[in-house]
Structure 1
């Protein structure tokens, strides 16, 4: 597994006081980074967090869902932000502004985000579980496009815009994780600007 910089997201060892779903998530990410996703069991995560296996499954449906939890939360933030885009902002500019804005992370969160995105993009088990999560992200974008274009959400253009947007964002995330040489939003802005121009 590639070495990852976790200095920006310190992860405490041992049981946090009043262990919550978020704290279990952080412990799981540390174990995934140290041992690999496939090499880490639910039992190990629960023991490290000081909770039972049953408690783990009250928080998360599966080990994979630990990695998708924050991704799914982003979908809600996207939908809220799309609802606030001014009517005079163009469709693709609105998408770019929202996606870039939702993906502004503080320095303390960058290390954790790199770990999460590296795992999602490289672990076969996570890639196999990706479809419903990617679909909900695409549909958040597609629904905004449909409203702006006056088209049904399941018509061609909104679906194409949603999928194309996710594709360029995934490329931006992959390069950001691999290069570790700049702010994520600069990669997203460049990729989404290229999409808006048709990469002409």
Structure 2
């Protein structure tokens, strides 16, 4: 589901050794990389020296690849921050399209969200960096709304199909955004407590959402 100013750090190449040409290791063969590797390295640099001070060239250099390789995975530096989240939205579309017709709407949403999420304790540091960067860079913070809208929109489209309504009608929108709200609450609690996998928090929050929070009234 998913800045601050960090202490300045020395950019780019590490140590004092002579770097191999970009995209090659010392043997002259291209170094294997992946989207996840580039994302991890970019987040490290964002944490060390801030988002705006970090360049695509620095990310590529630390990964030992070319700028062209970076742009094969990401259109912009900012896309690194939302890559996993946007992939989750696509997964939600796919999972909800496959939901059995006789499965209750809210249960189908709960199951899809739990299946689409894969974050564990080891992911918290990187997610903290993401959240901090987005929160402290105004342009990124403003753009975050569109990503959250897309997440809620995936649920609204599914609800509209089930209910014979349009995705922008009130009830599908209410379903999408209310689910987004409880999932963001679960995410914040998980990051703050650092005591398990995100899925356990999502399960509790979505199970309560599915039942209209019955049993949680003040006593």
TM-score by length of 1: 0.79
Asked if 1 retains the 8 angstrom alpha-carbon contact of 2:120 and 2:198, the reply is: no
| Number of residues of Structure 1 aligned to a counterpart in Structure 2 | 189
1: CA distance, partners of 2:116 / 2:153:
16
2:96 counterpart of 1:82: yes
2:106 counterpart of 1:92: yes
Structure number with higher helix proportion: 1
1:35-54 → structure 2 map (5 Å cutoff): 35-53=49-67
What's the secondary structure of 2:190's corresponding residue?
A: helix
1:3-152 → structure 2 map (5 Å cutoff): 17-53=31-67, 56-105=70-119, 110-111=123-124, 114-115=127-128, 118-119=131-132, 122-124=135-137, 125-152=139-166
- How much does 1:112 deviate? 6.1
- Over residues 106-136 of structure 1, what are the superposed CA-to-partner deviations in whole Å (9 max), with x where a residue is unaligned? 67x6346534653366334432211221121
**Aligned residue in 2 for 1:183:** 197
Pair 181,22 (structure 1): closer, same or farther in 2 beyond 3 Å: closer
- Over residues 148-171 of structure 1, what are the superposed CA-to-partner deviations in whole Å (9 max), with x where a residue is unaligned? 111111211111111111121111
Runs (5+) with no aligned partner, structure 1: 3-12
Structure whose CA Rg is larger:
2
TM-score by length of 2: 0.73
Q: What is the aligned-residue RMSD (CA, Å)?
A: 2.8
